[in-house]
């Protein structure tokens, strides 16, 4: 997984029994990416991480700073072979 300089992104979430339960769309500049699958999720004090796969097979690692409700893009892997 390629490590990126931290980049803030807009993330739309599914809100079930709690706010921001899981990401469903990522907005990078003018591009909106539909998340096909949340492959993994893990926690760190005050932060939640998600590894997601979008159409085309690209994978992103997203971090949500829980108290501030701020998202950042932490990693990227191309789905191209």
- DSSP one-letter string for 35-53: EEEEEEEEEETTEEEEEEE
**What pLDDT band is residue 6 in, cutting at 50, 70 and 90?**
low
Tell me the mean pLDDT in the region 12-27.
Answer: 80
Domain assignments of the chain as residue spans, ordered by start: 2-75
d(CA 49, CA 62): 6
Tell me the mean pLDDT in the region 49-73.
Answer: 93
């Amino acid at each position: 997984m390629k490590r990126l300089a931290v980049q803030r992104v807009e993330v739309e979430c599914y809100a079930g029994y709690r706010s921001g339960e899981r990401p469903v769309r990522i907005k990078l500049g003018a591009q909106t990416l539909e998340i096909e699958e949340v492959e993994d999720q893990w926690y760190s004090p005050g932060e939640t991480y998600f590894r997601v796969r979008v159409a085309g097979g690209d994978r992103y690692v997203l971090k949500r700073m829980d108290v501030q409700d701020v998202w950042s893009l932490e990693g990227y892997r191309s789905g191209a072979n």
